[in-house]
Amino acid sequence: MNDKYQTLFQPVQLPVGIELKNRIAMAPMTIISSNPDGSVTDAELAYYARRSGGVGMVITAAAKVVTTDGTPGILAADRDELIPSLRQLATTIKGRGARAVLQIIHTGRKAPQSEHGPVAPSAVTDDVEGAVVPRELTDAEIREIVQAFGQATRRAMEAGFDGVELHGANGYLLQQFFSPFTNRREDHWGGTLEKRLNFPLAVIEEVKKVVQEHAREPFIVGYRFSPEEPETPGITMAETLVLADTLAEQNLDYLHVSLHDFWSEPRRGVEDTRSRMEILHERVGKKVPLMGVGNIFTADDAAKALQTGVPLLALGRELILEPDWVEKITEGREHEIKTTLSLQDQARLQLPDPLWNMIQGMKGWFPIEE
């Protein structure tokens, strides 16, 4: 292995005491390939097995915590009968040598319209034609969802996962409560910046309580968030720093900063020309490990990102393109890493049909060879 990549493969000790064998994680990627009941498919197991051999940690695609979350094709951790299915997934990942972390989610207003309809902190819709107005959650429903995150965590533990990641990014329910665009409430769950934090904090508290009650060995709890929003009103970089400060005090094992580009810069809210990752690392990096992601394709991309001091990197699209990314670098074959996709690659890369169809249908998402 080239000496300049040695830092990529240093072990990382998480606050809970679990060691990751290197600094590279598989990012949680939406693959919408589960069975209609939310159980894992053979195609998903093959997909994860193909990508779990080199990385230190695999964060799965999101698993829903309530049955009424009407997003088709996603994993589910909403009922005990799915524990054997979740165990299959955890065993597959860990059997290849990676730590297995189950991402858990409530999609809120982003759920497709169903018989129940999407729900949200407030009945606010996007300003686009045909957008559905979500139903505002009651106080009792919010508290039930908090409990549901805790029960999904218990199921993850019983299934043998090493941890959970709370999906508070990409416009899903945890972010919806923090955002002034989607949260117009005037009760315990909204009205001020501090009150908009109450739902994420309640979920974290419940999850950590369940871990304390049920874990028989160290168990990872991570949190993913998106810095800023394009909407007005929306989350600014200044508010993102308040969120990061608050999360850094919750005794979490890592904060996963969801970005399309690791080096993206703030839109508004701070007078700083550095990247968001550099700003966040300076702000909270001494309190909690940060994980960066976004447009990291080559070994040099990763080495440059680690020079910021951020201890963990997640690869999403690149591990779909190149399942052997880690192995090729450690074997000195980094020049062989694939960074594009051909239309003949599905079987070779063991990509489930729904994911393959999504890749072909979303122009610009992946670099596809013509």
Residues annotated as catalytic are 172
For residues 21 and 11, what is the distance between their CA atoms, to the nearest angstrom? 5
| Coil vs helix vs strand at 215 | coil
Tokens describing residue 119: 């729900």
> Using DSSP, how many helices (H) and how many strands (E) does the chain show?
13, 14
> What one-character-per-residue DSSP string does 248-271 give?
HTS--SEEEE--SSTT----SSS-
What is the token pair recorded at 40? 């894992």
Distance CA 98, CA 362 (A): 30
- Reduced to 3 states (helix: H, G, I; strand: E, B; else coil), residue 181 is coil
Token duo for residue 29? 């990627």
Q: How do beta strands 254-257 and 220-225 pair?
A: parallel
